[in-house]
A and B are shown apart, each in its own frame.
Chain A
Amino acid sequence: GENVEQHPSTLSVQEGDSAVIKCTYSDSASNYFPWYKQELGKRPQLIIDIRSNVGEKKDQRIAVTLNKTAKHFSLHITETQPEDSAVYFCAPGRGGATNKLIFGTGTLLAVQP
């Protein structure tokens, strides 16, 4: 089966600092690369996504960069705030946003005020 790994597994930053989480996947047919944020006991929320014809996408404090050749993509959060504290998952997939997604191992981000 496909392997989807995230690094680091835990990340603690000071408020205002930047955070970067990397996702490595094995399925070369993946063409959709989303990042989800999940708070304890809640559903995952899509925060940003990118498709294989684009190398980078930015939405305010959040950005995603894709290196399809190396099969990894990263989540970048700038000017972190305590409310950014959550578990973040990457979930690469084939066939776009409506096909099945394989979730990564997860990264617990703690933003210290």
Chain B
Amino acid sequence: NAGVTQTPKFQVLKTGQSMTLQCAQDMNHEYMSWYRQDPGMGLRLIHYSVGAGITDQGEVPNGYNVSRSTTEDFPLRLLSAAPSQTSVYFCASRNSGLGETQYFGPGTRLLVL
């Protein structure tokens, strides 16, 4: 299994540009989440999905869209990038049980100029 994969690993955007961060998992996990991690801060939940076709907002959803058309994929779209979205983005997945291990992707470092 490849686990949770994310692309790209690193991206530089100009303010106002849009882009999609890709996330895929091959473990047939129901739950997938997107987090951002800023220096000196813990991970903050952006959006999450409890299954294909179902998404919901997390703690910091503004400026981001998600969709979950398949179990495997959970892309995160930045609609109009802003410098405040400079961060490291992590995708994670797990099964739906309370005690299930959460698996993380390697992260995407995004710099918005």
Asked if A and B bind, the verdict is no
Question: Which residues of A are interface residues toward B (Cβ below 8 A)?
Answer: none
